[in-house]
A and B are shown apart, each in its own frame.
Chain A
Amino acid sequence: MAAASSSSLHATAAALHGVGAAASSKPRAAAPGARSVRVAAAARRSGSVRARGGMVARAAVAVTCLVFCIPFFFCGRLLHEVLLFEALREALIEEMKADPTVYVFGEDVGHYGGSYKVTKGLAEMFGDLRVLDTPIAENSFTGMGVGAAMKGLRPIIEGMNMGFLLLAYNQISNNCGMLHYTSGGQFKIPVVIRGPGGVGRQLGAEHSQRLESYFQSIPGLQMVACSTPYNAKGLMKAAIRSENPVVLFEHVLLYNLKEKIPDEEYICCLEDVEMVRPGEHVTILTYSRMRYHVMQAAKTQVNKGYDPEVIDIRSLKPFDLHTIGNSIKKTNRVLIVEECMRTGGIGASLRAAIIDNFWDYLDAPIMCLSSQDVPTPYAAPLEDATVVQPAQIVAAVEQICQ
């Protein structure tokens, strides 16, 4: 199953010497054949990619992917190279083939192939009843997904941009999150709500929202954020199989990340963190795109003699306090780096949870670097100032390690 799906999807033959090979800036190519591993802007909405983030992200991805690829090389497992959106698509195809009750719907997911190509080709494979193009009616089609889930189907609801799902907030909060509880356990709502969010490349305020914090208080919901092709596929599969409603946050700028993933079927745990870089001096907790900024900053920090432990928390609700706690017990210092807003963000909750549980192990106050509490501006320098940049992370680590 996995072999059949991978052969048609991944890039032309790439050398097995690792993903960080590309050294020069190239214009972004949207086609899957691109060799570049930059954090490129997503296909549909943005214009040309600026070189600024290119080198940075490449190095970060290289470091990340090596951490995963090395064990695979040693085990001699079969791998194939995919872009992140292809990894998500593989997950969808595998799960839809395995379980006939799984179906996908959203705006332009079918005939158009998905605005970020995650569902490209699915309509041809599975037909119009399992890959449905909806009208632009987020509130009602999310409600319809919940209703179908009550009756035993397993819908995957795509928000073209997570920000649009604000229109469906009532359905997600009141029906999705609550029905299992208020019915005394009679109904399960095994929906997956997914879509791209986060700050992109000058997409404007309304298309650059981070909804993790808006959803995090909803009881009954699980939230995960993917950051690499490997965990994207694994988390998508786990989310589909989960009996709980899961919101899977993807990031607009991460869809063209390239990585080698196993041919063999695998699933990632929904509630676990991912240890990106073990270290001794400070625990850096991050997720989604900020992981790459952290890893880029980590390079600089290592050169300066610091040894950060980088953890991609992945599970935004619930937090994997077990592993996070073990890390804090080792390093005694915490830095949270997130793209969420400062007020009421994931970092704020994580901070509170760490203080509640691991106060005795902290040698310094927890630092939290978040996006500014502003609507994301259009102008490029202002947009860059909205999110956390690697230089700020380096400075924060220096400060916290004093």
Chain B
Amino acid sequence: MAAAALLRRVPAARAPATALMAARAISGSTAPLTIETSVPFTSHIVDPPSRDVTTTPAEILTFFHDMSVMRRMEIAADSLYKAKLIRGFCHLYDGQEAVAVGMEAAITRSDSIITAYRDHCTYLARGGDLVSAFAELMGRQAGCSRGKGGSMHFYKKDANFYGGHGIVGAQVPLGCGLAFAQKYRKEESATFALYGDGAANQGQLFEALNISALWKLPAILVCENNHYGMGTAEWRAAKSPAYYKRGDYVPGLKVDGMDVLAVKQACKFAKEHAIANGPIVLEMDTYRYHGHSMSDPGSTYRTRDEISGVRQERDPIERVRKLILAHDLATPAELKDMEKEIRKEVDDAIAKAKESPIPDTSELFTNVYVKGFGVESFGADRKELRATLP
């Protein structure tokens, strides 16, 4: 089953890397492997899942690969921003990769994910490709939103990735609406609505959670707690920073968000719970190395020692690297080679994205309204011919 999930997940863009992996001595084995999470789960009004996570060597290597691509992409975006090729707001996800990758490993593409503005890596995890990501960041036609959304508005409808939202907390009611649609249509799938520790204080979250619990919607609210709401530490913003408990009558689980296997286990558990019983809150204890966005140095409200401390002790990619080496799934040299290829892949994607043209001025007016909207009328801009009703 893990193998099938793995095969389903590998998009065409990454096929070359997998092929390369298979050609080497790197273990592509799908024999099950059980690994303990770093810390046990803490739970609120629900029995936590087991610490023992079933995985396979191939999956662990995919984790390493995917997280490395994400890390590389975010660092490249940092350079592009400083080179003024990316403008406006750019919120980077490096440090938090385990949440995106672990979540994707636990679910299918028929489940929905919606997140806030720190969405580049979630887009990638949902099957987005590097070229369209960089093109969107640089405002080019080949971007995933045709250059009209920008960093905070990545979407991928065919993969049930609903973005990409700039207003803090507003995506959570949307996510509960997605869960409602899943229940309405009797799909056996769930929605993961991600938000941050800053957004956790928004009233609309509690409103949406109330409605979701009343109507038993398959909504999973995932708080990516990186401990800082821009410049405000969580203890200064929340009277109760135990975000997994703030659902009150809704069960919650606290997860080490830097441990990709723990994230996978928690999301798997949450999905089963949500489909059967209604909403559940997950708190991912994670960390971002960059500041809130590229305009924020990230060091005025936290010490450099803290940042480097987390990087040394809890970095998600390093954890997986140690796991791989400990279980002899690949040699250090092979991992280094993989990283080199990933770097090249990302550089190639940037080069390709730069070739994409800037959107035409006529694009300013496209997609404001949907055309041909089934009324005996002209279009909203009076340029369409009269159409009859369906």
| A interface residues with partner B (beta carbon < 8 Å) | 101, 103, 129, 132, 134-135, 137, 139-153, 170-171, 174-175, 179-188, 190, 219-220, 222, 238, 241-244, 267, 269-272, 318, 320-322
A188 to B160, CA, bound (A): 14
Instruction: Determine whether the beta carbon of B208 is less than 8 Å from that of A183.
Output: no
Interchain CB contact (< 8 A) of B173 among A171, A181, A321:
A171
Interchain CB contact (< 8 A) of B149 among A103, A150, A182:
A182
A6 to B382, CA, bound (A): 34
Instruction: Determine whether the beta carbon of B155 is less than 8 Å from that of A241.
Output: no
When distances are taken between beta carbons in the complex, the residues of chain B under 8 Å from A170 are 167, 170
Instruction: Determine whether the beta carbon of A241 is less than 8 Å from that of B374.
Output: yes
Instruction: Kindly report which residue of chain A lies nearest to residue B173, judged by CB atoms.
Output: A143
Binds A, one of B290-298, B305-313, B339-347, B365-373: B365-373
B10 at the interface (CB under 8 A from A): no
A241 to B374, CA, bound (A): 6
- Range for the number of chain B residues in contact with chain A: 35 or more
A140 and B157 in contact (CB under 8 A), knowing A147-B173, A242-B375? no
A135 to B207, CA, bound (A): 8
> How close is A228's CB to chain B, nearest CB, in angstroms?
18
A186 to B145, CA, bound (A): 8
Instruction: Determine whether the beta carbon of B375 is less than 8 Å from that of A238.
Output: yes
Instruction: Determine whether the beta carbon of A272 is less than 8 Å from that of B377.
Output: yes
When distances are taken between beta carbons in the complex, the residues of chain A under 8 Å from B178 are 147-148, 150-151
The DSSP consensus for interface residues of chain B is: loop
* Residue from B175, B181, B390 having most chain A Cβ neighbours under 10 A: B181
> How close is B187's CB to chain A, nearest CB, in angstroms?
9
When distances are taken between beta carbons in the complex, the residues of chain B under 8 Å from A145 are 177
A318 and B380 in contact (CB under 8 A), knowing A174-B170, A183-B155, A184-B144? yes
When distances are taken between beta carbons in the complex, the residues of chain A under 8 Å from B164 are 182-183
When distances are taken between beta carbons in the complex, the residues of chain A under 8 Å from B356 are none
The 5 closest A-B pairs by CB, nearest first: A147-B177, A143-B173, A144-B177, A147-B174, A140-B207
Instruction: Determine whether the beta carbon of B367 is less than 8 Å from that of A141.
Output: no
| B interface residues with partner A (beta carbon < 8 Å) | 112, 114, 143-150, 153, 155-157, 162-167, 170, 172-178, 180-185, 203-205, 207-208, 210-211, 214-215, 366-370, 372-382, 389-390
Interchain CB contact (< 8 A) of B174 among A175, A188, A238, A320:
A175
A220 to B373, CA, bound (A): 13
When distances are taken between beta carbons in the complex, the residues of chain B under 8 Å from A148 are 177-178, 180-181, 184
Interchain CB contact (< 8 A) of A241 among B114, B185, B215, B373:
B373
* A244-B370, A267-B376 given; 18 more Cβ-contact pairs under 8 Å: A140-B207, A143-B204, A144-B208, A147-B174, A150-B177, A171-B170, A175-B174, A180-B369, A182-B153, A183-B145, A183-B149, A184-B367, A187-B162, A222-B380, A241-B375, A244-B369, A244-B380, A318-B381
When distances are taken between beta carbons in the complex, the residues of chain A under 8 Å from B173 are 139-144, 146-147, 171
When distances are taken between beta carbons in the complex, the residues of chain A under 8 Å from B177 are 143-151
Instruction: Determine whether the beta carbon of A174 is less than 8 Å from that of B182.
Output: no
Instruction: Determine whether the beta carbon of A174 is less than 8 Å from that of B166.
Output: yes
**Mind listing 7 A-B residue pairs with CB under 8 Å?**
A140-B208, A148-B180, A175-B165, A241-B374, A242-B373, A244-B373, A267-B376
Interchain CB contact (< 8 A) of A103 among B143, B155, B184, B370:
B184
Instruction: Kindly report which residue of chain A lies nearest to residue B367, judged by CB atoms.
Output: A185
When distances are taken between beta carbons in the complex, the residues of chain B under 8 Å from A187 are 155, 157, 162
Instruction: Kindly report which residue of chain A lies nearest to residue B144, judged by CB atoms.
Output: A184
Instruction: Kindly report which residue of chain B lies nearest to residue A147, judged by CB atoms.
Output: B177
Instruction: Determine whether the beta carbon of B211 is less than 8 Å from that of A134.
Output: yes
Instruction: Determine whether the beta carbon of B148 is less than 8 Å from that of A184.
Output: yes
Instruction: Kindly report which residue of chain B lies nearest to residue A181, judged by CB atoms.
Output: B367
A219 to B373, CA, bound (A): 17
A203 to B146, CA, bound (A): 48
When distances are taken between beta carbons in the complex, the residues of chain B under 8 Å from A150 are 162, 174, 177-178
> How close is A321's CB to chain B, nearest CB, in angstroms?
7
A291 to B286, CA, bound (A): 59
A188 to B369, CA, bound (A): 9
A142 to B172, CA, bound (A): 11
